[in-house]
Amino acid sequence: MTVLPILILPDAKLRLKSQAVKVVDDKTRALLDTMRETMYDAPGIGLAAVQIGVLQRLVVIDVSRDEDARQPLHFINPKIVWQSEELSKYEEGCLSIPETYEEVERPAQCRVKFLDYDGKDQEIECDGLLATCIQHEIDHLNGVLFLDHLSRLKRDRITKKFIKAKRQESVS
């Protein structure tokens, strides 16, 4: 079992675009395993590879409530192929922006195409927390954070707080 440290705002890597996975092999699966273990350890309901410093289009999600009946989902090269007109608001958090929660409005439902853990083509329709989470994770693959969906005032306040915290860390 491997748990890796999670990159924290304002790490510049979080703003980079991740690259498509060309071949799904045992190395890809080992990375997904590490991402899943890191997500459960955090704990979080989703994780994009960039959050552990790997710029590949890989996502893991588990929105199930029960720790004893885990339902991990593994997404390779996920792509949104449809989003509903209907929107929904959810109070989002991010493991890369600790202890910060803000309401974000996104399409309430979406369809996502991806390759699964075995490299097989899949397409699923998402709603509720899963729809919110997969959109949050695909944003990460494009260097986008939930902050970017907030007002400039809120985004700047939060960003400055994390820049300051990093500065304090380097002098202590």
| One character per residue 27-46, x = contact with Ni ion (rule: CB under 5 A) | --------------------
User: Any catalytic annotation for residue 137?
Assistant: yes
- Smallest separation, CB 100 to ligand GNR (Å): 10
Pairwise CA distance, residues 78 & 121, whole Å:
10
- Smallest separation, CB 93 to ligand GNR (Å): 5
Q: Summarize as ranges the residues that interact with ligand GNR (CB under 6 A).
A: 44-48, 51, 90, 92-96, 132-133, 136-137, 140
Evaluated on CA atoms 11, 14, 17, 22, the torsion sign reads positive
Identify any residues that bridge with 94 across adjacent strands, giving them in sequence order: 97
Considering CB distances under 5 to 8 angstroms, the limit depending on partner class, which of Ni ion, ligand GNR, none binds residue 75? none
* DSSP element (H, E) containing 135: helix 128-141
24/47 with CB nearer Ni ion: 47
91/121 with CB nearer ligand GNR: 91
Pairwise CA distance, residues 50 & 17, whole Å:
9
**Contacts for 12 with CB less than 8 Å, ≥ 6 apart:** none
Nearest to 137 by CA among 5, 42, 45: 45
Q: Which of 85, 86, 105, 137 is catalytic?
A: 137
Q: CA dihedral in degrees (102, 90, 62, 11; nearest 10)? A: -30
# binding residues, Ni ion (CB under 5 A): 1
Q: Which residue has the tokens 């929660």?
A: 101
- Smallest separation, CB 95 to Ni ion (Å): 6
Considering CB distances under 5 to 8 angstroms, the limit depending on partner class, which of Ni ion, ligand GNR, none binds residue 28? none
Q: Which of 32, 76, 94, 147 binds Ni ion (CB under 5 A)?
A: 94
- Smallest separation, CB 90 to ligand GNR (Å): 6
Residues carrying an active site annotation: 137
